[in-house]
Structure 1
Amino acid sequence: MLPKLILTDIDGVWTDGGMYYNRTDDEWKKFNTYDSAGVLFAHACNISVGIITGENTEIVKRRADKLKVDYCFLGVKNKMQIVNQLISDLGISLSEVAYIGDDINDLAVLRSVGTSGVPSSAPFYMKSYGNITLSKKGGEGVFREFVEAILGEEKILSIIDNVVLANQ
């Protein structure tokens, strides 16, 4: 059964975990364009996508808006609290949620949801908390890999035929 909601951390998942600053305190994040297809694939299957991140940066909000991510929570200290609020609002259970995260602030969610994934770049001890083993590192399209693993090859090929190619 497919999840009804896919949630994701940002730093270390959509990015390589690096934080770039200059002398004027500007901040940059590098996102991998492959992850945008993960959002497209999820939406094509009527699965909502949400971001829950501890960082509070406008950059993440801009990326979420561009990709039409359904939920975006910034500056979150207790991710499980947000997850519980979302499942209550949506009338779904934790077993209908998938989550990908890479570090200790993701542990509670990874341990609680029905489907969980951890990038290959995560610390070694985090890998035991993901029930989907991912080969990509954070910042290399691992969110897309996670969504593809959830949906499976047949569903992905169907989406490409019916959604992507039909709109070209």
Structure 2
Amino acid sequence: MSVPISAGDARALRLMAFDVDGVMTDGRLYFGPEGETLKVFNTLDGHGLKKLAATGVTLAIITGRNTPMVARRARDLGIEHVIQGREDKADALADLAAALGFTARETGYAGDDEPDVGALQWAQIAFAPANAHACARDAADHVTAARGGEGAVREICDALIALREAR
């Protein structure tokens, strides 16, 4: 499903959380010679995240895996709120929003698969990348033209920034 995002919803947004695998990355996992898991992040997405944060939106990462490179990427981007190793993403998102004093109406989420569906349904604004599983696309308000890890996050950020600045 893809419905227009209202400027009012975008301006009300105070927290935008992102899944990692399949949203911030293309979902593939690379394994190094020592068994370490490697991920590839898109620099265009990273710049979009920094631009969105500059508009006053608090950014967060919620992921089911627990890997040092996610913490490193978040640190590089200035993302303070990183929740790793949580499959109950709706609860994680609701708990984070409450801890920060935000409501569902002030929260957005981007996810790509079944573990994300609850968070997509809880958030006021929900995004899924073009290559997300059908269950996530169905739960999302907006499906990006770009695939996860290939500009979907930048597309989300650019759309939200444009709507927040629209008068």
In the superposition, the TM-score normalised over structure 1's length comes to 0.87
**Residues 1:40 and 2:47 are matched in the alignment:** no
Aligned partner (choices 9, 18, 26) of residue 28 of structure 2: 18
Amino acid at match of 2:77: L
| Deviation at residue 126 of structure 1 after TM alignment | 2.4
Query: How far apart are the structure 1 equivalents of 2:162 and 2:156?
Result: 10
Query: How far apart are the structure 1 equivalents of 2:90 and 2:135?
Result: 20
Query: How far apart are the structure 2 equivalents of 1:133 and 1:81?
Result: 23
Number of aligned residue pairs: 156
**Residues 1:93 and 2:103 are matched in the alignment:** yes
Question: Aligned to 2:102, what secondary structure does the other structure show?
Answer: coil
Query: How far apart are the structure 2 equivalents of 1:54 and 1:125?
Result: 17
Superposed structure 1 runs of 4+ greater than 4 Å apart: none
Aligned partner (choices 40, 55, 62) of residue 30 of structure 1: 40
| Alignment match, 1:127 | 137
**Identical-pair percentage:** 31
Question: Aligned to 1:152, what secondary structure does the other structure show?
Answer: helix
| Deviation at residue 64 of structure 1 after TM alignment | 0.3
**Residues 1:4 and 2:14 are matched in the alignment:** yes
Aligned partner (choices 105, 127, 151) of residue 141 of structure 1: 151
Query: How far apart are the structure 2 equivalents of 1:9 and 1:105?
Result: 10
| Deviation at residue 142 of structure 1 after TM alignment | 0.8
Q: Which runs of 5+ in 1 are unaligned?
A: 157-168
Query: How far apart are the structure 1 equivalents of 2:73 and 2:164?
Result: 28
Query: How far apart are the structure 2 equivalents of 1:79 and 1:154?
Result: 26
Larger Rg: 1
Amino acid at match of 2:63: T
Q: Deviations over 1:106-164 (max 9, x none)?
A: 000001110010000112342121112210001112111111122227839xxxxxxxx
| Alignment match, 2:68 | 58
Query: How far apart are the structure 2 equivalents of 1:28 and 1:87?
Result: 29
In the superposition, the TM-score normalised over structure 2's length comes to 0.87
Amino acid at match of 1:96: E
Query: How far apart are the structure 2 equivalents of 1:132 and 1:87?
Result: 21
Contact 2:117 2:135 in 1 (8 A): no
**Relative contact order higher in (CA < 8 Å, ≥ 6 apart):** 2
Q: Which runs of 5+ in 2 are unaligned?
A: 1-7
Contact 2:116 2:136 in 1 (8 A): no
Worse-matched range after superposition: 86-95 or 104-113: 86-95
Aligned partner (choices 104, 109, 126) of residue 119 of structure 2: 109
